Structure 1
């Protein structure tokens, strides 16, 4: 098989092709690439002319890959992704004062960002880049300097230090009437703010009541949200009773925005951990950050 550069199409247009094929739109691909639609179209035409066949079919409802276009995309996409990861690793090697960390949206918003403000004041020369996603996994954490994972602290290929234990309790607005709540059954009579946890690892009312040996059989209204931040905001607005995680609800309680309904605190036995790949050679900036975050968790 011929392996010299003459057998390859122009490499630059392949980046444009991958974006259009992945997104399914010239317009949206142009926005992602910070270019005009015309510039993207010209690059695709250049690639098609070089290859000698069409890559897309223009349909009424959008773009479809041709059969050879699909084969090209399936070969090009993983190569470009690998190239992006390689570039990221090389940049990290030279940018020793830059740290990357991945965590859930809730951990980023309620736990990490408030701490980072203090960290940056103490170590202004170190830059911390945060990636927030609810599609968190051990394998994803290995692509960054650090991750914050929820579980029992045991993940293959990762080392971790515990940051905080999971503690969950019902919360409501400070003036919300709960004087007659003495049991789980009483709670279930109130309007409840439920979490739709499909697709991510998080406890909802069904799980919480089961930990107390009760079935989730609410007799009051149930409002459902797919993000814990929305659920907490709904509780703050007086729409009902939500589950509050200690690391998220504590500041809201201290500010008087919500209050904890007493006698229903649950400690699950799981925790959040700062993790990194076992084989990773941590930079001096990473070591400083790891020690600082661990110490802030202990204090």
Structure 2
């Protein structure tokens, strides 16, 4: 069976196709224009053909794009219908989490829904790393950073541990990654707009490279990991978040060194009102999943 296109990329295609403009699509999706452009390009690479004709005054759909549009509209129409019809029947737990943890969290929430379909969870993602339970109507949230202050009840999930990752073929051939010094010969992929993650790992490895600032930057960890899995370069990632990719062989660790940054991921929730039994069960299950990595 052919690998299906990623759902977020299809959603980006739908919004872009409706307005035929990267800028307006970015405004509706609350991401940058560059992120929209990269997601569309990634989807086109996955499918093997172009969906849009890039023009000076905007975009227009190709023949393939016109065939895709009504099908994608139907897919998301069915999802919206399911959300409305099923959500009305059950009390849904509201969870907030930063986009950087989606690679770990989303597969586990999908597994939770299989095991406990009677306890649905609605997930809201954000690029920010905080929550205000007085103003935001969430039952719990995942936070990334230093330990939360005493105003929040919290449960530790896992620490951030940085390590380089790449595709298996990059460990083979004349330019094979064998020592950290070999990174000088490869494109370094950054999951953020700065180079702090790579610099932290290289400092711990006691190695200096001249190509750190010449690497490629991405908006999210997910994009950097996707490009690394395709053999574009070597990405720096959080080992705690990419365990599934390593287990599946989509990514490999060329070196054993994992560097703790002092930051971590936490489940946080208000102490009052008392968390419901279903929320306690969900949080306990997620903590068990984190500890069993």
126, 131, 142: which is aligned to 1:133? 126
Q: 1:288 to 1:218 in 2, by over 3 A?
A: same
Establish whether residue 255 from structure 1 lines up as the match of residue 248 from structure 2: yes
Instruction: Work out the CA distance in 2 between the residues paired with 1:141 and 1:182.
Output: 50
The count of residues paired between Structure 1 and Structure 2 equals: 203
Alpha-carbon distance, 1:238 to partner: 0.7
Q: 1:264 to 1:292 in 2, by over 3 A?
A: closer
Establish whether residue 112 from structure 1 lines up as the match of residue 91 from structure 2: no
Alpha-carbon distance, 1:212 to partner: 4.4
191, 194, 198: which is aligned to 1:205? 198
Q: 1:124 to 1:135 in 2, by over 3 A?
A: same
Query: Which residue number corresponds to residue 153 of structure 2?
Result: 159
Instruction: Work out the CA distance in 2 between the residues paired with 1:146 and 1:217.
Output: 43
Establish whether residue 194 from structure 1 lines up as the match of residue 190 from structure 2: yes
Contact preservation (8 Å) 1:166, 1:268: yes
Structure having the higher Rg: 1
Query: Which residue number corresponds to residue 246 of structure 1?
Result: 239
> Which structure 2 segments of 5+ residues have no match?
1-23, 29-87
Establish whether residue 229 from structure 1 lines up as the match of residue 217 from structure 2: no
Contact preservation (8 Å) 1:167, 1:266: yes
TM normalised by structure 1 equals 0.59
Instruction: Work out the CA distance in 2 between the residues paired with 1:287 and 1:141.
Output: 20
Correspondence 1:1-299 to 2 at 5 A = 97-108=91-102, 110-139=103-132, 143=136, 144-177=138-171, 179=176, 181-183=178-180, 185-197=181-193, 204-212=197-205, 217-218=210-211, 221-299=214-292
Instruction: Work out the CA distance in 1 between the residues paired with 2:279 and 2:262.
Output: 28
> Which structure 1 segments of 5+ residues have no match?
1-27, 33-93
Alpha-carbon distance, 1:116 to partner: 1.5
Contact preservation (8 Å) 2:192, 2:218: yes
Instruction: Work out the CA distance in 2 between the residues paired with 1:227 and 1:99.
Output: 26
